[in-house]
Structure 1
Amino acid sequence: DFSKRQELLETCAHALIVGMENCFLHLQAIEDPLTGLYNRSYFLYRLKEELSYSTRHSSDFALLMIDLDEFKEVNDHLGHQIGDDVLKRIGELFRMTLRKEDVPARYGGDEFIILLLNCDEKNAIEKANKIKQMISIKALPKEKSQGIQLGCSISLISSKVISGDNDITSILKKLDNALYKAKTEGKNQVIVAVE
């Protein structure tokens, strides 16, 4: 009967629409709208999960905190649209170069944080240096830079240094202190948190 088929199709279409809306809401809850990376709250959720997993299974991981050098100059002299374009480009660069299991997030403003799963300190340092180089070369196209050289300072902490410290606030403080050191000791460098 035609009316029953139509009713079934309408029910299926409605269920599909509700499902798509739920997916969209889920994405909004975990994604930074400008960069397309994860947002800070989702990142902290994933970090908590990884700390628990790492404690049980002794798995290696590392955290990178990245702060753009001279980003204020980009916004002040080139405009906020160019600044937004830089942030979007960094999101694209991370998606193209990081592994599927890594968790990159916009931490706030011009700061990013990345959870590198199954990654020891040596490999994390290599990745951090690649990211630093990639940002300085590709984040701000030369034709738009007007002489501004964008770089980044990166702090890194490995699971071996964290070793049993599951206090996220304490871990992020160590990362932040190392990042501050990178910024005050010349910028555009990678500093490993050792305590």
Structure 2
Amino acid sequence: MADISPLAIAIIVCEIGFWVMLAAGLAARYLLRWRRTSVVLLVGTPLLDLALLAFTVADLRGGGEATTVHGLGAAYLGFSVAFGHSLVRWADQRVAHRFAGGPPPVKPPRRGPEKVRYEWREWGKCLAGAAIACAAMALLSFVVASPAQTEALWGVGGWMMRLGVVTGIWLVAGPLWTTLANVRIRGLR
């Protein structure tokens, strides 16, 4: 078995930590009725992202060379920041409905202009996540370490290019597809 990178372990720990803090925050809110404690736990989830960033900085400052795992860490950070709030809201609606008599969770629109707006908004989060990840990689490449040390992040085939491809695919498969389908349906009426 190959050695597992300490940074890969940190990413796994942060992901598990996010779900543990989310579950603990929702349990405190709806099962124990500890509103303040739940707010602290739920608001504290971004601290895991900061811990991951600090761990990545320390790893590169120690002379390490950036690898695929460093790019994955930056991508995790960006998308966690961009989608974290809506993921917490999604889980909160479901737990409130199931355990506290709250209203049914809001479902994404299935068609029409509402669906188009929804798809563009979700793609905007994707774009924000990619931008945050690229900013983190730029910080790592030019402030924390040297560009030679971090070529896996920004070089040809690096993580910045991969994020651009993912963002482009999401654009085509999500909001553009939905927009064109909506225009076509409206034209048939």
TM-score by length of 1: 0.31
TM-score by length of 2: 0.32
Instruction: Name the structure with the higher strand share.
Output: 1
